Structure 1
Amino acid sequence: MMTNLFSSFDPSTYLNTSLNWLSTMLGLLFLPSMFWLIPSRYNFMWNKIIITLHNEFKILLGNNSIKGSTLIFISLFSMIMFNNFLGLFPYIFTSTSHLILTLTLALPLWLSFMIYGWFNHTMHMFTHLVPQGTPSVLMPFMVCIETISNMIRPGTLAVRLAANMIAGHLLLTLLGNTGSMLNLFLINFLIITQLLLLMLESAVAIIQSYVFAVLSTLYSSEVN
């Protein structure tokens, strides 16, 4: 039984089970079929998405990127998107609405970029701290601002994804809880509203996973 509105986002109280985080791995069930079954429209669609993402990430990373580096960001996109979509189904825990998962993805990724950049391209990283054409008087302030903006990147990545997932689910929950107190006309209106919100959430699930992957790609392209 939910104690408050946010209980549905608490893995320790949601359905009173400790297996909620297993939903993070459910996305893997959708992938293996393409390796041993006759290709279907789903397989062709997924291959098309992967090829499109590969070409786009390749442009963002530039010519100096290591071969196969786009696969990291395609895998990241796939994992987040599957988890976002699974969270829209009843009784499936939305793992991407938690900072535990989003920070686990964002922090090591950003930290690896920083370590690689500062060890291998030190001067290039220093030049990023002072934008070209900055007056000498403003240089100390620009270094502070650029350093802070660089440090909060994993936090903004994680919070953006988690907040967008929580916001839509909360709105659906709030509207759904009012159904028992409405008359027949308003219930029909509520169902239509819920369906429209569900379509919006489906779009948000794709957009947020894409934004996370693209921003990670841009951050990695800056250290080369």
Structure 2
Amino acid sequence: MRFNTVLFDLDGTLMDHLPAIHRCYAHTLPQLGLPAPTYEQVKRAIGGGLENAMVKFIPAARLGEALAIYRPFWDANLLTGADPMPGALALLERLHARGIVCAVFTNKLGTSARQVCAHLGFTPHVLQVIGAKDTPWLKPAPEFTAHALKLLDADPATTCLVGDSPWDVQAAHNAGFPCFAVTTGTHTADELRAAGADGIYENLTALGAAEFLVT
């Protein structure tokens, strides 16, 4: 095994949370006098953190007002429509059993990420769940990746990232290690290829077999 540490993105990679996210946008925007976005519009907007996604639908000046509606509804409903991606738990279990350090590295709010990881059974197999508001940074900021490596006592030479977006690719490459991508999230194979992903797979099962020899 050439990797001692594997960082995993969460949404679109280890889990499908898009139905819950869309539901929260559909709850929030009409209360601001704006049309509810479609599922596809929300899918294309997310990935860079909640604030960055939200201002694609509302004026920046109304962000605080929108978050005051969104966040309580999210906190009350985030486990409804939170489902593991096929093969996610098995991959985490097998890597952990081999002594590989696994961690969740996400732009999802850290408190929400830890709650859903516990709910889905991921927590026993990951050393850390690192998310938004845990630090001042988000992916792909080099400081955020450096923070994760330091927290895990990880060497970039034996680390990789598994994700589903150009932010994941850039975050990994900024730190000098590869990013293997799945197309189960918000971006297509062509988009991931253009971003420079080191390997692109249709799901975690295929990725695990190819990159980690997990079958």
> Which is bigger in relative contact order (C-alpha 8 A, separation at least 6)?
1
TM-score normalised per structure 2: 0.27
TM-score normalised per structure 1: 0.26
Which one has the largest radius of gyration? 1
Name the structure with the higher strand share: 2
Name the structure with the higher helix share: 1
